[in-house]
Every structure is written in structure tokens, then in C-alpha cells.
Amino acid sequence: MNTLVTGANGQLGSEIKELVQQSTIGTQHYHFYFTDSDTLDITDFQAVEIFCREKNINVIINCAAYTGVDKAESEIELADKINHLAVKNLAMLSNEFGIKLIHISTDYVFDGMNYKPYIEDDITNPQSVYGKTKLDGENAMLAANPPNSIIIRTSWVYSSFGSNFVKTMLRLGKEKANLGVIFDQVGTPTYAKDLAKTILDIIPQIQNEKVEIYNYSNEGVLSWYDFAKEIMKMAKLNCQINPIETKEYPAPAKRPHYSVLNKAKIKNTFNVEIPYWKDGLDDCLKRLGERK
């Protein structure tokens, strides 16, 4: 099975690449092509079509995304190009060539006004350009409807690769005596390595006539404040974390206040076991050499 992984230098793409190289996953029957925007422009329909035909691609894992949530408010066209139009390209080509497409989306498609964990069928209502462009990408994929293809919505992604909240907290925790971190945004972190493993595990099992949406994050519920506290505790950093409200930390893009995802569907469909968020954090800090 020839598998194309887009956005291969991002957090999730890098984790998939490392798992494949370690051969810890049953992917011996798969040949992987790891690309980024420099090696394959997925916003260019023709370029992707030629690539898929020449390499005889059977599976696409689309990890590519415009993830600058605040920058997207002013770079609307670029965010739309990557998060929406590129997904449309991949979905149309997947339909044409019979390719299995796994596309990664976000909790930002919701408005965060729920009082219980979001299920896949809950009404979407993005509050930011990032969320809107990601939802437009989902809708374009649903419209093209490539068979044996899925959308995975995830939240609060971090990894030992790339830039993320965990690495920022580690850096600031060494520089500052105290930090204010938001306590009124509640969700669940997703350790990209855990998501990568799940994706590689479920590829052979995906079999559906119409595009299905699944939620994935680690288990548990917490605020950014709780997350920061645990990072400092595990890394043994003497940095005081103080809870602050969202309004005390104004940002261009509006974030969902509540974005806990219900993962029952992916667990039941694919018999997936999802690790607790602290276990993911523990592993990430060990890989970064920061677990004390």
C-alpha cells in the first residue's frame, strides 16, 4: 500500500514518520511518502494528481494544515487555501483514484458552548477563521465523499516535535518565577504520538461507503491552567502557575471555552484504547529529557 503523508514535518506527521521508521506498528506492507509544502503543494490540484498517479497512492494521511489560529484572522486567504481548498483537492482525487483519505480536523469547528463532551453529530459553529476554514475543509470532503475515508477531529495537540504549549511552558518555566495561565478554557490535550499510533493501527480497518467523522484526544478533562501545573510538576520546575481568565489574555481569535470530545465512536468502531492525558505528557517529557 503506497501511503502519502502530507504535512510530514509538523507535529503529527513527524510522529507518524518516527513510528514508521521504528517499525513498531504493523505497517510492513505500506510504503510511505512523506511530503511537506516544499516537496508537494497540495493546494495545486494538478501537482497532487500527478504525484498520486505516478506513485500509485492508495492511502493519504492529511496532516497538513494552517494552524496559526490568531494569524489566520488576518491571513484568511492563505488559511482557506490550506485548510479548505487543499482538502477539496485531496478529497476529489481520492474519489477519482479510489484512495483511502484520513483527514485531520479540529475541536475549533465547535463554539465551545456545550455542557457535555461533543459527539461527532453535534452542531458545528466555528468562532474563528481557523475553525471556519477547517469546517469548510470537512464539508468539501463530505461533498466529494471518497469511499473508505474518515475525518478525525482532535484538540490541544502537542508533541516532542515542533512548537506547542508543552515546550512553551518548559521554556517559560525556566525563565520566570510565575506565570498566568488560562483556567476558563476546558478540554483535553492530544499527544500526537498517541494519535499517530491510532491512525496507523486503524488504516486497514477503515471501510465505509460515506465519509465518517471521529473524535480523538487523550482521556481526561482539564484546563490550560491544570495542564501547565502538571508540566511544571513533572519537570520539577519552580515556577508558580496562577489561574487567569480568558479576558485577561486577549487574542485576535476567539477560542472555544469548552471543547471536550466524546471518543466513544472511534473506540467502539476500531477497538481503540486511548491513553490518559498524564501518561502522554509523561512520555513526551521523557523524550524531551525534561522528566525529573
What pLDDT, in 10s, does the model give residues 210-245? 999 999 999 999 999 999 999 999 999 999 999 999
Number of compact structural domains in the chain = 1
Domain extent at residue 12: 2-163+191-219+258-275
pLDDT at residue 24, rounded to an integer: 53
pLDDT at residue 128, rounded to an integer: 98
For the chain, the C-alpha Rg in angstroms (whole number) is 19
Closest CA relative to residue 115, chosen from 265, 262, 276: 262
pLDDT at residue 101, rounded to an integer: 98
**Stretches in the chain below the pLDDT threshold 50:** none
**Is 47 inside any structural domain?**
yes
**Is 129 inside any structural domain?**
yes
pLDDT at residue 148, rounded to an integer: 97
> Which residue out of 130, 158, 214, 225 is catalytically annotated?
130
Query: What is this structure's pTM?
Result: 0.97
pLDDT at residue 30, rounded to an integer: 84
**Is 71 inside any structural domain?**
yes
In the block, residue with C-alpha cell 513533572: 234
CA torsion angle for 223, 228, 233, 238 (degrees, to 10)? -140
Annotated catalytic residue 33? no
**Is 228 inside any structural domain?**
no
**Is 284 inside any structural domain?**
no
Q: What is the CATH number of the domain that holds 153?
A: 3.40.50.720
pLDDT at residue 26, rounded to an integer: 53
